[in-house]
Amino acid sequence: MANGNNPIFSEKNHHKSAKAGLYTYRTVVYIILIILTLVCLFPFINIIINCSWSNADIQKGFHWWFGNYFAENWNALISDSHLGFRQAFINSLLIAVISSVLTVYFSALTAYATHIYTFKGKKAITTFILCIMMIPTQVSAMGLVVICNQLHLLNQLWVIIVPAIASPVTYFYMKQYLESVLPFEVIEAARVDGASELRIFHQIVLPILKPALAVQFIFAYVANWNNYFMPAMLLQSSDTKTLPLVIASLKASSPDTFNLGEVYMLIMITILPLIVIYLIFSRSIIKNLTSGAVKG
């Protein structure tokens, strides 16, 4: 009874009870997060597992573990002349990388110009660029297809790359980021030291924009890699097909030659570069944001 009436003893019991409740709460939250993570990852895990099974085994039902047909499915994919996987992979890689790099560079350059410089029509230009965001891609694409057809520019990769450079969404993000992190005093000091405008942009502005560049490069790469609409309208020859067009063509395959193991292998190879790009640039985002927080 004496211990029960002791304030110190009661406080210790309350502290232990609160600590136990906190551990229980964290455990429940972690279990829920793990379950949600597994649910989100389940389709990708299923694709990877099915890559290692034969067509007949996949048709039998779901598999919980890997099979022994990974090499066979890979060889069937790269040797299938009807699909043209190798050329399609190269085409998709060229379009995605070149378009993404040019998109983030010129969007950053445009955002820097409209943020730093004061000129007549500045607000009108900014408003016009933002209004373009409201126009669906399908509407503007029809005019581009007609022009390319009249000028005999179909079946060329650069016809897909060049229009992708103009990205109002990327420009808007870059401009908003510059307004929050780029002080005018830094630019003025560089000008006083005799630095040219392009040197200021490349050596001062771009390093400041690293987190924003990494984020927008991921978004641009994913959009260009998965782009099906424009290549389907402008790329019609087998030498210029991209991976989304190859995947779409699988529905026209003959039932006698249809191989689900090969299909899952193709889907996995299509997803893999996106995961690699995200892992590379997400680390850059976290690193730059962390260093910025420490410096602040």
Each residue's pLDDT tens digit in the chain (296 positions)? 445 555 555 666 666 777 777 788 888 999 999 999 888 888 888 888 888 777 777 777 777 888 787 888 888 778 777 777 888 889 999 999 999 999 999 999 988 888 888 888 888 888 888 888 887 777 777 788 888 888 888 888 888 888 888 888 888 888 888 888 888 888 888 888 888 888 888 888 888 888 888 888 988 998 899 888 888 888 888 788 888 888 887 765 655 556 777 788 888 888 888 888 888 877 766 655 544 443 44
> Any idea of the CA torsion for 106, 111, 117, 119, to the nearest 10 degrees?
90
Integer angstrom CA distances of residue 10 from 2, 14, 23: 11, 6, 20
What are the residues whose beta carbons fall under 8 Å from the beta carbon of 74, sequence distance 6 or more? 265
Integer angstrom CA distances of residue 230 from 217, 223, 239: 20, 11, 16
What is the CA angle 229-232-238, rounded to 5?
150
Residue identified by tokens 């022994």 is: 68
Distance CA 17, CA 210 (A): 46
Say if CB 213 and CB 206 are below 8 A apart: yes
> Structure pTM?
0.79
> Any idea of the CA torsion for 171, 281, 265, 235, to the nearest 10 degrees?
30
Per-residue DSSP letter, 226: S
Residue 43, exposed/middle/buried by CB under 10 A (0-12, 13-18, 19+)?
Answer: exposed
Distance CA 96, CA 164 (A): 10
pLDDT of residue 5: 56
Estimate to the nearest angstrom the gap between the alpha carbon of 77 and the chain centroid.
Answer: 25
Q: Using DSSP, how many helices (H) and how many strands (E) does the chain show?
A: 15, 0
Say if CB 242 and CB 227 are below 8 A apart: yes
Integer angstrom CA distances of residue 152 from 155, 159, 230: 9, 11, 16
| AA letter at 196 | S
Distance CA 175, CA 167 (A): 12
Distance CA 189, CA 184 (A): 9
Distance CA 216, CA 222 (A): 10
